[in-house]
Every structure is written in C-alpha cells, then in structure tokens.
Chain A
Amino acid sequence: MKKFVSIVLIILFFGVLTDVMPQEKTDSVRTFPLVNYIYKANRNTSPSVDHSKFEILKQDFEDAHQLTAACLSCHTERDKEIMATSHWNWEREDVLEGKGKVKLGKKNIINNFCIGVSGSEATCTRCHIGYGWKDKSFDFTEPTNIDCVVCHDQTDTYKKGKGMAGLPDPSVNLSYVAQNVGTPRQENCGVCHFWGGGGNNVKHGDLDVAMLDCSREVDVHMASEGEDMSCVECHKTEKHQMAGRVYALSSENKNRATCIQCHTSKPHQDEMLNDHNIRVACQTCHIPVYAKQNATKMWWDWSSAGRLDEHGKPTHENDAYGNHNYLGIKGNFIYDDWVKPEYYWFNGLANHQLITDKIESVPVQMNSLYGSYRDKGENQASLEPSKIWPVKVHRGRQVYDTINMTLIQPKLWDKEKGKGAYWTDFDWEEANRLGMEYIGKDYSGAYGFIETEMYWPLNHQVSPADKALQCVDCHQRKDSRLASLTDFYLPGRDSNAFLDGFGVIAVIGAIIGVFVHSILRRIMRRKCFFQKESNE
C-alpha cells in the first residue's frame, strides 16, 4: 500500500515536472488561437473588378488631376472619405494634456529629424496623398487634388517627382497605372512609411524596405515564405480611415491597430504569460530587437551641419557600414542596426512639444509617452493600465530660439539658391527667420542648438515565437532589459540588500553554528571518554 502510494506520488511529481518544463518550441506549428484572420492559403485573392475593362481608364490622361476625376466618376463620395483622413489633412484634432484640443499632424508638428514641413512643402509633400501642395495656398477641398494611385497602384511604376509637391514623375504612364489598381500592398505604404526622414528605415527603425521580401526572423508577419501579410491586414480600413497611429504625431488612445485583434488577449498556453499582458505590451517580448536588416538613425546633430568643400558643395562622410555619419546639409548622424529597444510605461496617451511651447527642460521631449507603474487606467482617456512598451528613442540636437526659448522651424528647402533655404544657402540666421515668418511665429534672431529626444513605440518586425524575449531577459539581477524602469518591484531583478544580507547571515550563521556545535561535541566527547578511562 505504502509502496503503491509512493509510486503514484513519484509519477505525479514527474508528470507535473514534464508538464511545466518549457516545451520544445515548434514555431512552424500554429499553437495559438487566431481570430478575424483568414490564412493566405484559404483566401480568394483574385480581384472582383478588372479596371482594365473600363473605357474611362484607357484614355491618355493629360494630368494626374484628370485621372482622379476618372476614379471619382465611379467611386463617388470617396473623395469625402479621403478628405476626412489624416493622410490627406496631415493634421487631426487631438486633446493634449494641458493644451486642450489641438489640430496637430505632419502639417505643423516639429520633430528631431527634418524638423518640419513648413516652408519646404514642395519636397516634403512627395509623401502626401495629393497633388500640388507646394505652399499654404493648397486647396484641401478640391477632390481632384487627391492622389488615388499612390496607394492603389499595383504596377510599381508609379512614383511622385522630386520637389514636385506630390505630382507624379513625368515618366509615369498614368493610363497603365489607372488600369491596374487594387488594394494597397506593402509597396504602396512603404514608399512613404519606409523612407520617412530622408532614407530607408531612418525614422521608425521597425519599418524597412527589406520587409518587402524578408525572412521570418526579420518580420514573422511579412516574411515572404510565411503569410506575407500586407500592411492593411492589421491596419484595418473603413471608409479610408486606417486603424493605427504613430505617436510621433498622435496623442490620444483611440483607433489603434493591435495584436489582440487577431491574436486574442489569451494567446499563450501559460496563464502567467497571458497575465503579463495586463502590464506588458505584446511588443515588449515579441520585438526583442529592431532595425534587423538595415540600420536606423539613432542620433542626429544639426549643429555640425554646413561644412562645405572648396567648391561650396556640402561634404559627406560614411561610417564603416556605409551609412551616412555626416552630411553637409544635415550634420552628424549615428546609425545602428540590431538595436535593443528602450522600455517605457505607456498608456496610449502622448504629448508633444509644439512650436509655441516654451522649452522647460533639456533634453527637449519632442513627444512624451504617458504612463507609469501606478497608472492603472484611472485616466479615463486611456482606460487601460499603462503597459511596458519597447521604444526607439531618437536623440539629436537642433535649432532653437535662445531668447524666446522655443524650437525653431527653419526653411530648409528650395528649388533655387539664394532664397534663404538652409540646404541651399547654409545660413541658419536666414533659414530660421524665413521659416518662422512663414508660419507666423516670433523669432528673436538669436538661435542655438539644443538636445532633443523623440519616442517611437515599436510595433513592427515581430520576431518568431522562439526568438521572443525569455523570462530572464527582464527577470534577472544584472542586465535586465527593464533596468531603467525602477518604479516597481520586479521579481528576479529587484531585491533588498538589507534583507538579503540578513538572510544570508542567518543561513550562514546557522551553518556555522551547526559546524561549531558538531566540532565541540566531538572534542568534548573524546575528553569525557578519556576522563572516564583514567578514572577507572
């Protein structure tokens, strides 16, 4: 009976043990639940409409506006949808803490890359879904100013011209493009979102042209040999309103694209891991590194810009990996790849350093992510507790008004020399003055360079499950990924030196006590023994 009981216990024990040992990761087998998603293999991808059969699209378009008019002749009302999007307006009304409702977007925001579009629209709006936004005079209400094909082209032959305010390059065959339109693919989104900041993967760090054709290692969703998902499968779109927002521009916690919309809130078999999601974003573990394929910009120092060669041309230098580390028009850079993110609490709300805001601390926080361990979502605007997020932090140094203590929007670009643009004339004084004048803000005439920080929560380049962070990456004494988040107690990372000191002393004390006691017993016993003998 006893034997039977002990055998049963042993079997149970090992049964439990094998159950809790981490299983061999079979990444190729989908063991997780998935909702709202149809696998590529089960999908009918043939288009419902063949646009090449429409006579109206077979014409030779005189200009791009005419093409748009042709689109709208069938797709009526779509223009109104477009005109309600931030892709069109480059601004959106958000509530910012302490600032109330603010119309904010690429149109007027200041960042620590190319600073801002104002005064340089003609080149910047190459990434606008419109035609002809070269200055403030652009008509946002004119339907034929919409560029439909930049997003819907399926031929990869459409491109916008350099410095042409969003109009297509003259080489584009608009008729061909018009007859081959469809749902946006990675290429359509990537042309702007990969290349933001003036080069591939410069800004986001997790949006890289390499993702058009990458391995599972780089991006498990977009991997060519996998589901090869397009952007809009996550960034679900209704009436041209795309889910998802980037906190370089956004401030409110709404209309976000999330992991759980497909993966559910309980994707792991281990409940303890699912519980982590209460305070840890999926991205934190599943994006262990970013800029996996190509380097991203980590540092941009404008203060050293302006170095010219003997011909008056801006100089440039590359680092050992072929990335720019100096450009005469922009200053010094540091690029890095395979970067470990920094980690911050984030509740989905952000604030921004507006052009009108006084600089109160250095480095200037271009955007600040709100959140803390203690923020459990009492903040009605966020609803959810703050979570730990992986963030790319882009640091730099840029112009500011040393008297007004505000950031400066300089005029950077112009077609011709002598019009005061910094990239042609290399005169900060004039560029600042013209830029600030353009947006109607006060400029004292005194400028300097100030350090800045900008936060980019990471969402893309999700790694395969077996490459996700392991427990000890955070739960360890040294080199914890979360070493900088010190406002809470993290098991495995945190300990109390006094308590541990006491504990170790108590245990070692007990061991020494035992040791001394047993030695004493041995010595004293022998003595007693001899005494007895001599007595006899």
Chain B
Amino acid sequence: MKKVYIYKLFERFWHWSQALIIGGLGLTGFEIHGSYNLLGFQTAVSLHSILAWAFLVLIVFAIFWHITSGEWRQYVPTTKLLKEQFMYYIGGIFRNAPHPTNKTVYNKFNPLQRMIYLGLKILVIPIMVLSGFIYLYFHYPKFGIEFDSLQTIAYIHTFGAYILLAFIVAHVYLTTVTGVNTFSSIKAMIFGWEEMEDEEIKVVVEEEMEVALKIIKSKLHAGETRSNILDTALEEVEGKLGVMRETFFRDAISNSSAGYFCISKEGYYKEVNEAWLSLYKYDSRDEIIGKHYRLSRSEEDFRELEQTVAHVLQGETMSHGEVKRICKDGAEGFHTLTLSPVYIDNEINCFEGFIIDTTAKHLAEREMLKKKIRIAERQKKNDE
C-alpha cells in the first residue's frame, strides 16, 4: 500500500470551501424556500447573500487556477472508457472487479466524473449563480432592469438546488466506495495523498515514468548538458507532479532491484542511483563516479561487455543477458542489464541502462545444480 499525491493545496482548499459554501447555501436556501425553520428567515437570507458573494469570489479564484495550472484539461470530456466506468458502477463494483480507470495526478477523474463535473461547472453552477444574483438584486419589480415576476427565476434556482442536493448524495456515497478504504478518498481530498493498491501504483509509476522520460527528452533536445539531468528531471517530476520522492519512486526502483547507471563513451561512470550503489555495495557515489567500468567486471566479462558497449555506441539499444559483477568488497553478484545510448547534440555521448539483480535466482539455480549433482552421485553410489 502506497500513497500518491493527487490533490494540490489550492485544489483541496477550493474543494472544501466550495463544499462548505454550497452546504451553507443549501441549508439557508431551503429555509428561504420555506422547507423548514432553522436559523430564522432573516439570518438565513443574510447568510445566503454573504455565501453567494463568497462563492462568486471562490469561483473567480478557481477559474484562474484552472486556467493557469492547466487543470482545466481534467474536465475535457471523453467517451473513452465511459461505458466501462458506468458498467463498473452498476455491475463490476459488486463483483470486486478492478476499477476500469486509475486515478493519477494527470488524470484524476474517471470519464463519468469528467462528464458530471464538467456539467456542474459549465451548466449547473453558472445557472445557479446567475439566477441567484438575479434573485438577489432584482427581486422587486421596479424601474430599470426588471423581471415581471420572481417566479421563473425562483423556479430555476430551486430546480438547480434539488439537482445539486441529489448530486451531493451520490457524490459523497461514491467517494466511500471507490477508494482502498471507505474514507481513503475523503482523506485524500483532505491531505492530498491517496492510498493505492500496489497494482494501481504500478500503473501510476509507468505513467509517471513516461512523463519523466518525456521531460528528459525535451530537455536533451533543448540542449541542456547531461549532468544530473535525470536527477533534476526526476526531482521535478516527483516534486511538481506528485510522486513522493523517497518512499515511493526510489522504493519502486530498489524493490524491483533495478539500478540505474550512466557511463561515458570512454567507459567512466557518470551517474548511478542508490539502487545501483547498494547492489555494488558502495557507500556513496563519490567512490564510483569517474572510475572505469572495468573495475566491476572480471577480465573475461569485461571483454564481452566491451563488445556490447561498442554496439551501443553505434546507436543500438541492447539487452544483455546475465552478467557477473564484482562488488566493492570483492564479492560476486549477478544481474541482467539493458544498455541504451544517450545523445547530446545528435552525437552519442554516453550510454545508460538499468540493471536488475538476479543473484538470488542465480544462487538458487546453483544450489539446485549442486543438489542434482549430489543426487546423481548418491545414485551412482547406490548403483554401485
């Protein structure tokens, strides 16, 4: 179970103040409608008017935020998976079927949500605000801008209120059914971090890696130097786009035993990540950066690797089979690796790749082999 940062500070402030304001407007509004006596009519009217203004101010801020942050894209309607999402709510959800869509910082609404929220934003809320302010300021037919009667305005406003009330019922309920736990979605809306199943995380990681790589690529094309590019890019992605750096992204890589490295075309280490360091049993980057990769290979493996590197430096991406590594303390380990060239100014400048540890598997296989040999020997003995 991991946490992913989904909702930003303003977004949460906006959501909850909006919830508070709409709640207050509903409470006072239905009192004005005559549905009950609670605060007293006068208090209800004053509060309703104040909340109306507060809501308008909030809307102005929210519109600004949506435009400047690009978050408006979250509300662009899509029919992709719309049906699946709907079917999930009326079918799959009962069978514990997987959620057809995943919540990520780039795509936090499912297609149904997109549609409904967009409807609220461009239809229901504007109509409520507009009819509300007409109600508030043109309630007496007199000279000037006027309406023959408040009736039509009042009916529209009341209708919208019922629609919003029904929405709130469904909305609150659905937050409790789609998260990992009953309240995890609500918690996420409060603190920003959403708990997710590992499976979901995988999707999120993939998506975020994709974005990270895209950003790196664009930076490389823009001609920035290679040094620390990955780290700064990742940091930016992690920080800005909401992956929790230490506990999440690093974990994801180290848990899967994937180490990252970048080696200059001359063969010197330029960059490694923590996972790489731990696999090679180094304590800090300083111990390895600038050293030749020959250091961590046996003589015969190095020659084999050299050939592969030559291919990579020609522009190929290679997936190397299992290799043996020599750690700092002289111990041996095994891993598979991938190698791909890194271009700077359209010239191959260095190569990078990920290594995946297979030591355990290798050792197990070796033990199995020994066992087989022992069994074979025992059998030989028995036969004799």
A residues sitting closer than 8 Å to B (CB atoms) are 2, 5, 9, 13, 16-17, 20-22, 270, 272, 275, 278-279, 373-374, 376-377, 385, 470-472, 475-477, 488-489, 491-496, 499-500, 502-504, 506-507, 509-511, 513-514, 517-518, 520-521, 524-525, 528
Question: In the bound complex, do residue A492 and residue B33 qualify as a contact, i.e. CB atoms below 8 Å apart?
Answer: yes
Cross-chain pair count, CB within 8 angstroms: 129
Task: Contact check, A491 vs B43: say whether CB atoms are below 8 A apart.
Answer: no
B32 at the interface (CB under 8 A from A): yes
CB–CB B141/A373 < 8 A = yes
A2-B9, A278-B142, A521-B94 known; A492-B34 Cβ under 8 A: yes
Structural contact, B150 and A491, CB atoms closer than 8 A: yes
A63 to chain B, nearest CB (A): 57
Q: Mark B52-95, 1 if CB is under 8 A from A, else 0.
A: 00000000000000000000000000000000000000000111
A528 and B46 in contact (CB under 8 A), knowing A491-B154, A503-B161?
Answer: no
Residue of B40, B150, B166 contacting most chain A CB atoms (<10 Å): B166
Q: Among B32, B50, B143, B173, point to the contact of A491 (Cβ < 8 A).
A: B32
Nearest-CB residue, chain A, relative to B141? A376
Are B155 and A496 in touch, CB under 8 angstroms?
A: yes
**Assuming the A-B contacts A22-B40, A521-B94, are A489 and B142 also in contact, with contact meaning beta carbons closer than 8 angstroms in the complex?**
no
**Contact in complex: A499, B159 (CB < 8 Å):** yes
Give the docked Cα–Cα distance between A9 and B96 (Å): 41
- Contact check, A495 vs B142: say whether CB atoms are below 8 A apart: no
A492 CB → nearest B CB, Å = 4
Residues of B within 8 A of A507 (CB): 162, 165-166, 169
Is B42 in the interface zone, CB < 8 Å from A? Answer: yes
Identify A511's interface contact among B40, B146, B169, CB under 8 A.
B169
Contacts of B33 in A (CB 8 A): 491-492, 495
A262 CA / B85 CA spacing, docked (Å): 67
Contact B41–A475 (Cβ < 8 Å):
yes
State whether the Cβ of B183 lies closer than 8 Å to any Cβ in chain A.
Answer: no
Complex: A377 Cα to B47 Cα, angstroms: 32
* Interface 0/1 of B166-185, CB less than 8 Å to A: 11011001000100000000
- Residues of B near A279 (CB, < 8 A) are 140-142
CB distance from B175 to the nearest CB of A (A): 11
Can you list 17 A-B pairs, Cβ within 8 angstroms, ordered by A? A9-B17, A22-B40, A270-B46, A374-B141, A385-B140, A472-B37, A476-B41, A491-B139, A492-B34, A494-B34, A500-B158, A502-B159, A503-B159, A503-B161, A507-B169, A520-B94, A521-B93
For the complex, what is the distance from the CA of A518 to the CA of B45, rounded to whole Å? 37
In the complex, which residues 1-19 of chain B have their Cβ closer than 8 Å to any Cβ of chain A? 9, 13, 17
Q: Tell yes or no: B130 within 8 A of A by CB.
A: no
A520's nearest neighbour on chain B, judged by CB, is: B94
Chain B's closest residue to A272 (CB) is B45
The answer to whether B43 touches A20, judged by C-beta atoms less than 8 angstroms apart, is yes
Tell me which residues across on chain B come within 8 A of A517, comparing CB atoms: 93, 173, 177
